[in-house]
Structure 1
Amino acid sequence: MSLVNQGNLGLFSITESKNNDLGMGVLSDGTPYLTNRGLAKICGIEPSTTLRLLQKWDEEQNKPRGRKILELLKAQGYSAPNLFIEANGIHGSFYAIPDAVCMAILEYYSFEAEQANAEIAKTNYRILARSSFKLYVYDQCNYNPNQKIDDSWQMFHERLLLNDNIPINYFSIFKELSAVIVNMIRTGCKIDDTTVPDISVGQIWSRYWTQNKLDEKYGERFKFPHTYPDTFRQSAGGQYDAWVYPTDALGVFRRWLYETYFMDKFPKYLNTKVTSGALVAHDATRLLDTLQKPALVAQKSSEKKDDNK
C-alpha cells in the first residue's frame, strides 16, 4: 500500500472511473483512492457512516470502532492525521480516501463489526486483498503508473486553481469547459498557452449572447478577473477580465455548446490544432465523437418521449 503524505497540497485527480458504480481514481502523485460513496458501498454501509469517520476522526479514533480502525491503520504503516486527502477535481475539491484507509475500514467492517451486510464487505475485501487495492484501481481507471504525468495536466490544474473563485450565482466559460479540456488531454491534445479553447468558445458565445439579447431575459453579465499561470505567455499581460454569466442562463449555454459549437465550430478549431501538430487527426476525430455523443443521446431520448405520448 502507498503511504500518503497529508502535507502534500494541490493534489488533483488525473483519472477517474465509476465501474461497478464505485467512485474511484488516481491522484497526481499516483495515489489510488475511493470516494466516500465508493468506500461505503464496498463496506455495505451508508455513506453517512463513513463520512462521520472522515470528518470526526479526532473524536472517532477514541471510541471502540475508531480504536480498532486506528490499530489496523498502524499495522499498515499509515500515520497521517486525517483519513482523507482533500484533492481537486474538475468539479471542485472532494475527499479522496487513499488505499491504506480504504483497506483498514473495509477490514473492520468485514471481520470486526457486527452488521447485516458483513458478507458484502468480506467479499469485497477478498477481491481487493487478492489483487491489491492499488492494482485494482489502476486497472479500473486504465492508469499506467510508469507513464509520466503530462505537462498538460499540470498547466490545466494550475489555471483551474487560480480561477476557482467565481461568484456562486454566475458561471465562467473556462470552468464550464473543464470537462472538455480533460477529454482533450486524454485524447492526446497538448494543452498549453497556445491551446486555450475557452477563448474561442467565449468569443462566439459572447456574440450569441449579444445578438439574442439574453441579458434582457437572464440578467446582466459582467467582467471578472481571470489569471493565467506563470507558465503561460498570457501571464505577462497581468490579470485579464473575462465575462461571467448569470447561472439562470447555464442551461441555454450548455445546449448551445453541444448543439451549436461542438457540431459546427469546434471541428474547425481542432483542425487548427491538427495543422499545428498539437493533435493528430485520428485523436481529433475520436474527441469530436466523444463530445458530440451527449447531444445526440439527449436528442434521441427526447424523440423517444415524443413517440410515447
Structure 2
Amino acid sequence: MAKKINIVAPRNSSKQIAPKLDLGIEADTEINGIGMGVLSDGTPYLNQRGLAALCGVMNAHIGTISSQWNEAPEKPRISAIKAILGKTGAIPGNPHIEVAHKGTVNFCYPSDVCLAVLEYYAFDAGTNCKPEARDNFRTLAGSKLRELIYSQVGYDPSGAKTHKFTKWHERIELNHQSAPKGYFHVFNEAHTIVYELIIAGADIGEEFVVDISIGQHWGKHWSDNNLEDDFGPRQKWPHRYPESHPQAKSNPQESWCYPLSALGHYREWLQSTYIDGGKFASYLKRKVSQGQLPPSFAQLAISALSAPQIGPS
C-alpha cells in the first residue's frame, strides 16, 4: 500500500455538504495510513487520506473528485467513476458522507465509491493510472474491501456475537502454566502475534496454530547455534489441546520449554528473524494458499507486527 500522504485537500466552502447528523461512526481505525471505519448504519468506509493512499495519489485529488462531483459540465474523470458505479448499483448524490465524530468532521467514502475510484486509477485514468491502485484493486475487488474494513475495526455486520478469540482462550485456560519455574514456553510468548492474526481476520483454531510454526523455527535456531551452552538446557513439559482440536486425542503432548535466561534472545530472534526475516510471511502465504486467510488480511498482519523504522522525517 502507498505511504501516507500528508497533503490536505483544498476545500471550497460553497461546495461542502452539510454533515449527516443522523449518522455516526460506529468504529474506526488506521492501518499504515489507511483510515477506515464503519458508520452507524453499517456502511464501511475509508477516509479521504486512506482512499488517496490506496490509489497512490495525493489527498487533494480525492478532494477534487468530491468538489467536482455535481459540477456541470461534468468532468471526464467524474463521468468515468460514475459509470463504474452505475454498473453495480446506484450513483450517490455525493461521493462522501460528512460525519461529525470526536469534535471533527470526517469525510467518509463508502466502500463501493472507494472501489470505483480505485478501479478508475487502476485502469481508466490513462497516463495517470497508478500501479499501487492496480495492485490494491486486484487485492480488494468485490467484497474484499468491505470484509477488510469490518475485520480491522472488529465489526460484525450480521449483528451476532462473534467468538473469534474463543479457541485461543480455551488453549490458554489449559496451558497458562505451560512451563516450570525458571522456564518459558513459546505458546505463552505468542499472544501478540495471535492477537494481530485474529484482528486481521484469521480463524485461529485447530488448523491455524502459529505457535507450532514459531516453535519449530526457534527449536532449530536453538540447536543450530548450540544455545544450551549459553543459557543452559531446555526441557520437555506437557502441553494440552482443547477437546475441539483433533490434537487433543494425543494429550498431553510433550513440548520444549526454555530457560528464562534465554527469553531476551528469543524475543530478539522472533522480531528480527521470524517476523522481519520472512518466516512469518512464508507461514501466512501458505495459509493464504490453503484458503485460511485472505491476502489483504495477511498483508496487514505482517505490517502490524513489523518493527517500526526510525529515520529522518
Task: Report the TM-score, using the length of structure 1 for normalisation.
Answer: 0.48
Q: Which of these two proteins has the greater Rg computed from alpha carbons?
A: 2
